[in-house]
Structures are given as C-alpha cells and as structure tokens.
Structure 1
Amino acid sequence: MPAAPNPPVPPVPSVPSHPFDPADAPVSVLGLGAMGTALAGALLAAGHPVTVWNRSAARADGLVARGARRADSPAAAVAASPLVIVCVTDYAIADTILADATIPGTDTWAGRTLVNLTSDTPERSRETAGWAARHGIPYLDGAIMVPTPVVGTANGFVLYSGSPAAFDEHGATLRAFGPNAPFLGEEHGLAALYDLGMLDFFYTALAGLVHAFGVVGADGVSAAEFLPFANVIFGILPDIMAGTAAAIDAGAYPGEQDNLTMEAAGIEHIVTAAKTRGLDVGVLEAIKSVTDRAIARGHGGDSFASTIEVIRSA
C-alpha cells in the first residue's frame, strides 16, 4: 500500500510587529489536561480568541462549544496566534509537541512568543529556553501556583521568568489567569525554582498537619476539634519565617530564646508518643536526624535555622 502523501504545510500568517491590545489578543493553548483546559477557559472568559490543540482531539469539545477554535495539529495551533501557551504533564511531552509544531524549512515561529506553563525542574526550563533561543523564539517559563478552580479568578497566581520583552508585551494577556503574575527575572529557571521551593514548604507543612491530626485523633480528638489550635501555630508562622530567613541569609543562628537542643528534645517526645499510638513516624524521624546531626556539628545552642548547614551538606 503506497504511503500517504505528506499533508500540505499550512501558510504561516503574518503577525503585526506592534503589541496586541491585551483585550483581544489571540492565544493558542497546546495541551488540554485539567490545567490546560482551565487556562483556555480563562482566556475565553476574558474575551480572547482562543485556538486549542490536544493529542486527543475530543478533549477540546467543551472549549469549542464555548467558542474556541480547534487546530488539527500543533503547527496549525502555533500559526493561529502570536502567543502560544504549552501546558502538559512534563517537559519531555512539551518538547515533543514543540518539535512537532516546528516545521523544517518554514518560519513556523516567526512573530510568535512561547510561554511554557509545564511543571518541571529549573534544569529542564533552561534546556527548553536553549531550544527556543536556537529557533529565535521569545520564551517565558511559568509556574502555576494554584489549583484549576482558582485559575482566572482574583486569587490566580502564576510565576514567570525569561524574556523581559516578551513579558512586557504579553503580561496583560497572561493576567487573564489571575492578577498575581510576578516576573522573577531573565534567568529562565527562576519560575521553576520558586515553584519547587513553595511546594517544598507546602507539602512538608501539610504532612506535619496531617500527622498532628493523627496524633490527637489517636486519643479521640477529631481533626475539626483540634483545628483551631493548629491555627494558633499558623498565626505565629509569619514572624518565625521572617526570623529564619534573616538568620539563614546572615549565616548566624542565635539561639538564646529557643535552641536546637531543646527543639530536638521536643521532637523526641512527639516521636515517642506517635510510636506508642502505632503511628508512622518516618517524617518525624527524618527531622530528628537533621537536628541530631546539626547538634553533633556544634549547633546545639543555635536556633533551628542552623539545620540549614546540615541540609546544604547532605
């Protein structure tokens, strides 16, 4: 059976050199998982002409019903708009889509800006930025810091880094995802780095909260009953965080008010009580290991911030 002929390459329409009015700037969204669908929906709600593409074309049906245009290929999606947004599971998938969208021998990306809102590491962000630079594509890397229902609301929060000129031109359009859209700087890996740091704090804090509910729950106290007392800790965290940040940046960890030896003893009490109640203590033992190693290095009289010395040299 003879091979099917290659489909004709769609012409790449010209893009005006002046910035678009952010109120009606066309945008293409590649990748329609839960987050990509939320992004496209927010753009539609803000009044933007939106072109969408997904490998499983049926994922676009709901957006098409709301007024989006369905592209039949990544290249067609890129051709449709001056601003192209990719949001998929990881950079391996994103790189494949971008390769498929880049037709050799054509100016596929002429006049286009690429915004990658895929989550991954700073290293992967820089690799894709290098690919974009080799193809002459203005590139922004981003990190979405809210769940899908919050995208497009007043609490929407997306971090950006990369091309300052691209952010200047398209920042107003990108704020369709939410008004909290800080530009962190020209180094492309910054958005992913901040993302990792914020999620590191979030997940370890959430693990601590769930474990605390487990400890009190083992003795019959419900999570709802204990929650107001957990909120007391939440209330004092901002001052503790500010002091910890200042100590780490200064490399000095005064412990006159609260030293690490005392903290380690308190952690040991929680470990003992949790084991007695048959609870998992893996997270607590990891914390205790860090404090014990810091004390062994001479930080027993210092504050908890001194554990950064162990974390940095693990």
Structure 2
Amino acid sequence: MYKLKRFWESIKNHFNAFRTDKFSIKNKGSWANYIFILIGIIGAVLLLFSNFLSTDKIQNKHSDTGKYYKFDNSSKVKVDKWLWNKNQNTLDVVLEYKDIDNSGIKEDKNLSYIARANDNAKKKLKIKTLAKTNNRVALRINDVKKGFEVLGLEIYTKLDDSEKQKETSLLANEKKVKTTTKNNPKNEQDYILEFIKSDQKNVKDNINISQKKIKNWEEKIDEKEAEINKLDDEKEYQTKTDKSNTDSKISGIQDDIRDLKLDIDRKKEEIKEDKEAEKLLRSKYKDTKEFND
C-alpha cells in the first residue's frame, strides 16, 4: 500500500506543470515537466498518424487493368487481368507487352517474375506460366490467401545466366482485383483462346480507327475542294497579280488534297490487311477450340 501511494504521488508531481498554483517560472521543474509531457504527446500523435498514413498508402496501391505501365525505355506492359480464386488460393494475371510508341509488339523474351504478398513480404510465392504467345503471358500465383492486402509482381529481364535487372513492379490490391470461387480454373488452352479473342478485338479496333480516319480525311478533302471553287470564283474580279497569288493558293490546296488521298489509299490497304488478319484469327480460334474439344 505504501509503494502504491508513493507511485501515485510521483505521478502527481509530474503533472505539477498543469496546476495553476504551481505553474510559475520560479517553480523548479514546472516548465521542464510541461515541455517533456508536451513533446511526449506530440511524438505519440505523430507516430500514430505516420503509421496510419504509411499503411493506408500501401494498402490503397493497385495497378489497374487495361492501363499500360512503362516497362523500360522502349516498351510498356499492360495488365489485362487480375483474377483471384478464393477457393483455390490463386491469383491469375495476364500481361501484354508493346513498344512504347505502339509501333509493334514487344516479345516476352528473357523475362522472369517474383511475387510477394504484403502480409509476408519475405516469402516468394510460387508462379506458374499457364500460357504464352509472342507478347502475352498468363501467370498463376499460388498461395494467395485472404488477407494478402497487396501483392507485388516484380518483372525482371535476364541479362545472363546469373544476373537479372528489375524493370518494374505491378501491384494487385485485395480489395480491387476480380474474384471467383470456381473449382475449375482456366487452363493453358483457355488462355490461348482468350489471347486469340484479344487479338481479334485489337484488329477490329484498328479497323474502326482506320475507318474513322478515312472519313475525317474525306471531309477535309470536301472542305478543300469547296475552298478551291470559292477561290476560282473570286478570280473573275481580280487583277493579273491577284490572280497569280490565288493560283498559288489553289496549287497549295491541291497538294494538300493529293497528300490526303495518298493517306486514304494507305489506310485502305491497312484495313484490307486487318480484315485478312481478322479472318485468319477466326479460323485460328475455331481450329484451336475444336482441337481442345
């Protein structure tokens, strides 16, 4: 009882700084106690909020599907799918690689992957390559259980047999990935068919974009031809010098029209090639599906 009383008196003495009758510059230790307690409170608050903010920052990170992320100086990578199977404890990810300027595809060569979950960052999760084409890959990450919070997928380029260089990290947020509970997850052939369908969609999108460009160029040609007709009408009331200037303007507009017509011809050839590719992809999809069935 005596020890408890002494302990209580000690606590009261530390709070003398807050007593109006003791709060004086003459009172030894009052300012020191006040500053010490204030610093302690501020430190505790900062520690609490810094931990909250850092945790919130990590737990809200996510690499969205359908968006390209810079891979290296010449290429980029897009996440086509995050699919978490809660029953199987697996996370499927589909990636697509492209040149940075969309001029062509980047082949998925000499790449390796490491996956870690936020709940146990030291543990490397097992990854299986389910399917692979020139620029697409489907991976299955195992042992992804409820509470993983955020999973990081690190992508490396193999430099030689022993060295590799980290290119980027993609993040899968437990709250934002698509989920499934199916007991028969997709296999290699399922993903090959999915890749073909994605190629078909890309070709169709290219055709639609090309057709819109052609329409836009044709409208510009109509506008420029109308401008030429207007300039021709104005020549009737112009001097010889003015007519010469007008003819120069007309000549420049005619050059623009020729360039636009060349662009249209090139784009029509691209559409022709894309339609042929679309036809071949339909056949490829059908043959692949029949072979697997």
Q: With structure 2 as the length reference, what TM-score do the two structures score?
A: 0.27
Whichever of the two has the greater Rg, that structure is 2
Task: Tell me which protein shows more strand as a share of its residues.
Answer: 2
